[in-house]
Structure 1
Amino acid sequence: MRIPLGVRAHAGTSALLVVLTVIACLLVAGLPRTMQASFDEALRRSLTEAEAVRTDLTVTGAPALPAGELYSRAQFEGGDLHWRRLLPPALRPLIGPGGHISAKTHRTPVNETSAFRNFVNLGWLSDAARRVDWVRGRAPGKPSTMRYQGATIPVVEVGVVEEAVSRMGLDVGQTRMLGESVHTAVRIVGVFRARDPAGRSWSHDADVLHVTKVVPVDGPEELHTTALMSDDGLGALTNRGRTLTYRWVLALDGRAASALDVPGVEAAAAEFQRQVDVQGTGTISYRLVTGLPQLLTGFKAAMSAAQTVMYLVLGGLFAVALGVIALAARLLTDRMERTLALARARGASLWQVVSAGSALTAVLVGPAALAGYALSFLLPGPVLPIVHLGPAVVVVAVVAFAVARLVLAHRTPLREHRADLVAVRPSARRVTVEALVVVLALAGAYLLRARGQSGTGQQDPFLLLIPVALTLAAALITLRCYPYPLRLLVRLAARGRAAVPFLGSTRAARERSVGALPVLILLPALSLSVFAAVVHDGITATQRLASWQKVGAPIKLTSAANIPPDVVERVRRAPGVEQVALALTGRVQLGATGEWPYAVAVDLAQWRRVNEGAPMGLPELSGPASALVSPALGGQGAVEVRWLSAVRLTVQGVIDAVPGFYADGQFLLVPREVLPWPAANTLLIRGDISPAELARLVPAATVETQEAALAAIQADPLTGTVRATMVVVTVALGAYALVAIVLSLAAGAAGRARAVSLLRTLGLSDRQARRLTLLELMPVVLVTAPVGVALGMGLPAALGPGVDMSAFAGGLPVADHTPGLLTPVALAAGLGLCAVLGAYAHTAMSRRRNLDAALRVGDP
């Protein structure tokens, strides 16, 4: 058979096969690239949005002897070059040219007497010149000396941050004595402020930028700040009498990170830490401080969950697409059957017949696969092995299917076979294999639920195989049970007087073998589309719950100080404010144990009115002298709380979290009635008022909204990718299910058209012809759709313990997989609509058929 002639003779089927192949190869090659690109974007955002103190590699050195002390910038810069040379190759692309060096003392007291203690630490930053502006005085210069208590001590010129002037009483021109046993004088010559207070580098040096208040359990309040000195001051910076630490900060550039390189970066970080540890000597010790391994571990856990879910649905989408292409290939071989059978009867060998049919399939599928492969490069993302392998698998699978089908159809010339039997007795071997598949699938689902998450942070093959096994088991059970409703339908129709139901059900029974492949396609298509929709809805609902748990109210206004009553009233009367609940937070002391947990005093009744309609509940307190405590404080019947005043409370129960306030550690929830006066530093608000307006009403407050928290959760690239993938897969699988129905119609179109034309010569009307076609098609839809929908709704429950999707839902476990009716109804309606339209289209096409052609001499 000439291939161009075959393409022209079957142009419509050939075009359909080409289009389906292009789309399938585009999906299998393009979607993994976009998915990996989203993983890279999620990793880069995670690293760039995290504090620099967590992502950067910080080498700290603590000199133990004077021989280990450094006194010049050149010595520090030499150390920086040394650490950069030690970086493993996997880390070097991530470490940019930035970073800085610092030398600081810690807990250096000011020699003075007051109600509180001041600590002014000495600090040097290698890049201070570009990070601070001197707003008063001048930059520090060279140190000098002075006599103090009979000894010559250094006088170091320093500058202090603006905040230290107001909170600690430090100012330009002052000279303060530091130390207790070993003294150093500091002369304040300037006041500075940060050029960019939000710069990432300041997370390493928050002690320079701000005054820190420390409240010891058994001592007076302490105020700490770090003053800046010049390069010349390094000569006076020694470790005698104070704690001195050097830091070399190697800044990490998160924009260069790739999710594929995460395992190598983890191993490189561990190797660099080992290299740093062995560099220490007896005069100085070094260690590496970084939170990068913890960040990468958390990202790997989230990425593993995302990969598991997305590989599952994308693998199912690929399998369904491959099945639909196989349906199109079967349609093409069916259309060639008469030609090839005639050639076989005239003496062509089996090899020649199979070569002719498979060559035509390969000529159509091969270039189409290349086209889809080429189109995938228009999508962003790295080129993974699946990008090259996927289209090749499509070509090989489709051609192999065509070869197998041609071999079975033309093993002998003019081989007669029947495909109109309702049921064929299966062999014992086949029944045993199918029963084994079902048992293994059920056992695997049980073991998955019993085991839960693997805890390895890697891809779990067990988790990927169980859904495939469950789908295969459901398909086998469906195919095995398929004849029974057909038999019942035929028997019921035979008892009636109408001919159309009997004829339609009888044709459906006789074409059962033709419907096996559509069942195997529709079942995973429906189950995976419903699964994707259910998971998407579960993530969306949990994200909303997480946003409410984070904020605790539609709007939360928090102030570091007490909010005056007149300001509270101003907020209540503001346009758009509907409800306001007052709360006071702070640390309290427990009289019996001396512990200092956090406490929340709130009007729960008013809080419930603020949160009316929210998806979260609030705890109950039975009386004004009761309290709810965290698990860390559980086991106590009564507690004495020392807050604004001492009060004894009865512990009513244990709660895991106070929404909007505390979720771990030691905390307790008490009613506002325990407060001796109506203090409040937090307002829980419901209403239509902008955060900017609330910030204007309470200038020193921080405003959070539930909507902003939800938007922040949904803005994560990994979360957005999972949700978008679920939507795309749901739509694509639904479309493929409809295509499978259309191809099933086309596969039996010739025989169905002949039967309808023959019946029309006997008086069959157009309306009865449409009903006949519908009755022939509906068993496949009516049997497969409920099974597929039920399996899709059950898969989240089966996989739930093994997949941790909390990373996509604000940290809360996604446990609510209650599906809505929209997706199942839409899919069922779509399939039914496709069947109805197919029946109308087929009847319209059959109406054009010449009725005389239906009656031929010799036809049975």
Structure 2
Amino acid sequence: MNPVAAPWVRTRLRAAPGAACALALLVALTACLAAAFPRAMDRYADAGLHRALEQARPDRTGILLTAPQPDLLLTPQQRQEALRPGPLRERYDKALAAVDRPLVVDRAASTYGVRTTQSLKVPDPWLPRPSGLPPQLVLATPHGLGDHARLHSGRLPRVTGAPVTAATSAVEAAVTTETARSLRIEVGSVLHVPGVERPPLTVRVTGILAPRAPEGAYWATQPLLRTPALVTVPGSTGPDPDQYWLGALLLAPEAAPALLGTAGNPVRYWQLASEYDALHAHDLDRLKTAVAALESGPGLRAVRSAVDPATDVGTDLDEVFASFDRLRSDIGPLIAVAAVGTATVAGVVLLMAGGLAADRRRAELALLRARGASLRGVAGRLLAETAVVALPAGALGLVGALLAFPGGRVRPALWAAAAVTAVACAALPLRAAVAHRAVRLHDGRRDVVSVRPSRRRTVAELTLVVLALAAVETLRRRGATGAAGDLVSLAPVLVGVIAALVLVRLHPLPLRRLARTAGRLRGAVAHLALARAGRTSVSPVLPLLALLTALTTAAFGGSVLSGVDDARDRAALLTVGADARVEGTGPLPPGLPDRLRGAPGVAGVAEVGLAYQAKAEDGRLSVPVAGVDPGDYAALAARTGLGAFDGRELRREAGAGTLPALASPAVAERYGTRPFPVRLEDGSTVTVRIGLVRDRTPAVDGEEFLVVDRSGLSADAARPTVLLLTGDRLDGGALRRAADGAGSVRLRSEGRARYVDSPLQSGAERVYTAAVGAGAGYAVLALLLSLLRVAPERAALLARLRTMGLTRAQGRRLLVLESLPPALMAAAGGTLTGWAAVRLLSPGIDLTTIALATTSSPAGRAELRTDPWSLAVPALAVLVVAVGVAAVQAWWSGRRGSVVELRAGD
């Protein structure tokens, strides 16, 4: 054959423009989804990293370089010169250069200066003294004070006249509004800071500053410079411990040498803020390496050579990165399962599209081979023909993904789109090369009766079985985070592969038996439909693999999403104890329960008198005691599922001196079933006997508790301190208005929302949902492609049978009955495979991290459980689509008539 020529390609595309457009649309959509996946994960991971950095606050995410005051062997002039702004600025620039990428410093939020490390007692009598102790102050000279604060009153401190030295007697300073309010400082106030071998340093306050971004890195890295603290003297105990104020005075940078004349042990510091937006999750390993190098590696050596040999580097960035890495590592394998499942289904659809095109042109390609065309030449022409359509479509899909998800990496998206395009280009030529590797003048029967499984196929199937079993066992033994990631991610897909191969081998057997049974019935439609379903001329492996993989992934994904919701609901319920909780620091107002019952959505209110510090028996151990109304509380426990019990067993008998109690296992083990006294917080004592043991109870979130009938308590102890509310769609605003500040109001729905702590969690859920939805869509497309492959044969069959007297109604029944067995096989196999995959893999899957953004939960380990809806809905959808397509085809064939479908001689 001649080399691939354009006229051939142009001719073939013009001959089937519909097929070319359909292929282009399929490739563009698949390439877009494939390229969008890594971009979306990059986007959510970056947002999660930035959220983690924001929650950690700048004092942990910043890098603080500190160097001691200059060597005492230097002259006084040299020591003073080292603290002036010029030398500090030079070392600041060198410190910035020593921080290597991917760490990026936010220069606008960074600063440097000098500050005392020891607080100094200021004896001025007009300063507040909570316990008679004078306040203590630190002195600091931060650079860029005017850029990060606005003047509330007065002016910024400055240096006039001769340069400041250690012997200077007076300097100017500013304070923040919070410091001024707490220490009663005003513009013009004068403070006297004790000196060393010199008179006290006079500090005149010239301005009060309001920070522009109080929570930003400039102020929050060293919060004492912004907000004073009321410090308790170590060792001071009792109801009124000794306390004193600790604050800061902000001097002009040029006044730094004056700190040498105090006992504050001044140090130089360079405060480097991290630029969150420039940090990316895909660089996390490099980020951790860079931080480690700064703390105790080449980076620290570079900083010390550039700044000072005694420079110390302090940061908690490594801990923040490690915490985020644990979250990402726990969520990643779950996302990989959905991604691999969806990718498998999409790949199968692309292969089926190529197979459909090869079958449609089987006669043409066989004729070319019979006339002497080489296999390489035929495959080359088909590759060129497909590439002309697939390459522009793949590029268009890539561009769509880049525009839809800005900010992610380009290379992974490019590789994903390229892989989709390569599969789409290779599917048709490879399928044609396999089918026409030998020249044939006539194809024999190709149904499941005549085509027997070869030894190679048997070996391949056994290999897949071993791989699937190894993946499942690895995941069960070591978990999703510790196992080999690739094999674990493939586990649900391999389970679907094995199920597809087994069903393909077994499904003709029951169909033939049913066909023999149907042959004894009156009418030929059922027998003919079952016979055709059992002797199909199209290999069902690929469509069945697509359906089973999609159904397994949907079942797995639905179970993951359902398990996440259940874990959050359970954790929020255990924390709140009901749908809402109103709790006061003391007894609640008498009319509050009635007001809350009238709030929108409230169905019931359980009153609880809760004593957290009740003392049991000898008074050394405390145990929370809840006084409740047995009937209301039993109804609440039954509704919430937190330790349901029969309220009659907790009710106090008239005249009895001992109260029956419900206890936690720990308390029951400690005190047994004997009566023992309990002293409540109001000083009264009751005797209780444990008769019921439950792991949980609504009123107390903990492992130790006692629940008794409050009618047996004193009047003060029985007064409710907690109200537990049940109802649907509770209005938090209405409840807070009804409470009117009498107690804190917590809603279960609000507690549940707080568990979504990281964009990586919510992003993972969205990606998982999208992956499951895309997999379901590709499964439907695979089903449609499989039906399109047999559509011409079915249409011709109906035409022949109608010439023999088959009615339109019988034709519809024939196609529906013929499509039901494979659809039922796929639906039942998919349901069973999904259930088996969830049950097999659940021991190795921990949903706690993705549900709660933490490795621990109030409800314990969040396990993967089968979700019935995720099993039933996709399976029913397969049946509906298969039957619907068959009915539509029968209706359309009836409209076209028999002559259109028949050839001469039929």
Normalised by the length of structure 2, the TM-score is 0.77
Give the superposition deviation at 1:537: 1.7
State which of 838, 858, 864 in structure 2 corresponds to 1:817: 864
Of residues 646-655 and 332-341 in structure 1, the stretch that sits farther from structure 2 once superposed is 646-655
Aligned residues of 2:68 and 2:266 also touching (Cα < 8 A)? yes
> How far apart are residue 708 of structure 1 and its match?
3.0
Unmatched 5+ residue regions in structure 1?
Answer: 144-151
Match of 2:271 among 226, 234, 249: 249
Structure 1 residues 463 and 5: alpha-carbon distance in aligned structure 2, compared to 1, 3 A threshold: same
Match of 1:694 in 2: 736
Tell me how far apart the structure 1 counterparts of residues 678 and 245 of structure 2 sit (CA, whole Å).
35
Report the Cα offset of residue 259 of structure 1. Answer: 1.5
- 2:298 corresponds to 1:273: no
Q: Name 2:800's counterpart in structure 1.
A: 758
* Partner of residue 149, structure 1: none
Shift of 1:503: 0.6
CA distance in 2 between counterparts of 1:297 and 1:766 reads 68
How far apart are residue 442 of structure 1 and its match? 1.5
SS of residue paired to 1:209: coil
Partner of residue 226 from structure 1, selected from 239, 246, 250: 246
Note the C-alpha offset of 1:504: 0.7
1:497 and 2:522 aligned: yes
> For the residues of structure 2 that align with 1:757 and 1:527, how far apart are their CA atoms?
38
Change (3 A) 1:581 1:216: farther
Paired with 2:735 and 2:61, the residues of 1 have a C-alpha distance of: 36
Q: CA deviation at 1:770?
A: 1.4
Q: Which runs of 5+ in 2 are unaligned?
A: 1-6, 74-78, 161-166, 651-658
The yes-or-no answer on 1:322 pairing with 2:361 is no
TM-score of the aligned structures, taking structure 1 as reference length: 0.81
2:477–2:844 contact (8 Å) kept in structure 1: no
Other structure's SS at 1:59 match: strand
Partner of 2:460: 433
SS at match of 2:447: coil
Corresponding position of 2:227: 209
Task: Give the superposition deviation at 1:495.
Answer: 3.4
Secondary structure at the residue paired with 1:98? strand
Letter in 2 for 1:438: V
Change (3 A) 1:482 1:205: same
* Secondary structure of the structure 1 residue equivalent to 2:274: coil
Distance 1:378 1:141 in 2: 52
Residue of structure 2 in register with 1:403 after alignment:
429
2:470 corresponds to 1:447: no
Is it true that 1:576 corresponds to 2:576 in the alignment?
A: no
Partner of 1:40: 46
Indicate which of 567, 577, 580 corresponds to 1:542. Answer: 567
What whole-Å deviation, never above 9, does each CA across 1:57-111 have from its counterpart, x for those lacking one? 2234566986799765556555544432321232235665434556244576688
Q: Distance in 1 between matches of 2:721 and 2:193?
A: 38
Distance 1:250 1:308 in 2: 35
* 1:485 shift after superposition: 2.5
Residue 312 to residue 299, structure 1, CA distance change in 2 (3 Å): same
Which residue identity does 1:484 align to in structure 2? L
Does structure 1 retain, via aligned residues, the 8 Å contact 2:139–2:251?
Answer: no
1:201-254 Cα offsets, whole Å, 9 max, x none, are 454344451433548566462434322224277555469876766653211121
**1:312 is the counterpart of 2:337:** yes
Instruction: Tell me how far 1:20 sits from its aligned partner.
Output: 1.4
1:830 pairs, out of 854, 877, 881, with 877
Task: Return 253-262 or 812-821, whichever deviates more.
Answer: 812-821
Q: 1:807 to 1:654 in 2, by over 3 A?
A: farther
Q: Shift of the alpha carbon at 1:269?
A: 0.9
1:691 Cα deviation after fit: 4.5
CA-to-partner distance for each residue in 1:276-332, whole Å, 9 max, x for gaps? 765679x99543332221221222222234433333322322221222222222222
| 1:156 positional shift | 8.8
Amino acid at match of 2:229: V
Q: Which amino acid aligns with 2:21?
A: A
Looking at structure 1, the residues matched to 11 and 454 of structure 2 have their Cα atoms a distance apart, in angstroms, of 42
Q: Within the alignment, does 1:367 sit opposite 2:383 as a pair?
A: no
Moved more, 549-558 or 399-408: 549-558
Counterpart CA distance in 1 for 2:640 and 2:677 is 32
Q: 1:400 to 1:20 in 2, by over 3 A?
A: same
Identity of aligned residues (%): 24
What SS does the corresponding residue of 1:573 show, helix, strand or coil? helix
Whether 2:486 is the aligned partner of 1:461: answer yes
| 1:284-683 matched pairs, under 5 angstroms | 286-381=311-406, 382-410=408-436, 411-422=438-449, 424-455=451-482, 460-511=485-536, 513-555=538-580, 562=585, 565-566=588-589, 569=591, 573=595, 576=599, 579=605, 603=627, 617=642
Moved more, 299-308 or 530-539: 299-308
8 Å Cα contact 1:58-1:290 kept in structure 2: yes
Conserved 8 A contact 2:448-2:539: no
Matched, 1:746 2:752: no
- Note closer, same or farther for the CA distance 1:498–1:51 as it changes in structure 2 (3 Å cut): same
Q: In the TM superposition, what whole-angstrom CA distance separates every residue of 1:23-48 from its partner, at most 9, and x where no partner exists?
A: 11111122322222222222223323
Secondary structure of the structure 2 residue equivalent to 1:809: helix
Given the superposition, is the C-alpha separation of residues 87 and 350 from structure 1 closer, same or farther in structure 2, using an over 3 Å criterion?
Answer: closer
What does residue 847 of structure 1 align with?
A: 894
Count of aligned residue pairs for this structure pair:
839
What is the CA distance between 1:531 and its match in structure 2? 1.8
How far apart are residue 823 of structure 1 and its match? 3.5
Structure 1 residues 616 and 840, CA gap change in structure 2 (3 angstroms) = same
Partner deviation per Cα, 1:552-611 (whole Å, 9 max, x = no partner): 55455677xx45755x7558636628537567798999999999x9x8665566995897
| 2:637 and 2:698 in contact (8 A); partners too | no
From 8, 15, 27, give the equivalent of 2:33. 27
Q: 1:743 to 1:154 in 2, by over 3 A?
A: same
Counterpart CA distance in 2 for 1:480 and 1:304 is: 39
- Say which of 7, 18, 23 aligns to 1:12: 18
The letter for the 2-side match of 1:204 is T
Compute the displacement of 1:757 (Å). Answer: 1.7
2:848 maps to: 806
CA distance in 1, matches of 2:706, 2:314: 40
8 Å CA contact 1:532–1:727 kept in 2: the answer is yes
Query: Does the C-alpha gap of structure 1 residues 289 and 36 become closer, same or farther in structure 2, counting only changes over 3 Å?
Result: same
CA RMSD of aligned residues (A): 5.1
Q: CA deviation at 1:519?
A: 1.0
Structure 1 position 742, deviation (Å): 1.7
Give the 3-state SS of the residue equivalent to 1:89 in structure 2.
Answer: coil
- What letter matches 2:284 in structure 1? V
Measured in 2, the distance between the counterparts of 1:174 and 1:463 equals 70
String of CA shifts for 1:597-637, please: whole Å, max 9, x gaps: 9x866556699589768767369999799986999xx9999
Task: Indicate conservation of the 8 Å contact 2:402/2:410, yes or no.
Answer: no
Q: Does 1:706 align with 2:732?
A: no
Specify the code of the residue in structure 1 equivalent to 2:891: A
**CA distance 1:47–1:592, change in 2 (3 Å):** farther
| Counterpart residue type for residue 83 of structure 1 | A
Contact kept in structure 1, 2:60 and 2:221, CA below 8 Å: no
1-structure distance, mates of 2:823, 2:503: 12
Give how far 1:545 is off: 2.8
Contact residue 741 and residue 835 of structure 1 kept, 8 A: yes
> After the TM superposition, which residues 768-807 of structure 1 pair with which residues of structure 2 at under 5 Å, given as runs?
768-807=810-849
Shift of 1:512: 5.6
**Partner residue, 2:164:** none
The 3 A distance-change label for structure 1 pair 203 and 512 is: farther
Letter in 2 for 1:817: L
- Provide the rounded CA distance (Å) in 2 between the counterparts of 1:292 and 1:467: 37
Determine helix, strand or coil for the equivalent of 2:243: strand
Counterpart residue number, 1:146: none
Higher deviation after alignment, 62-71 or 224-233: 62-71
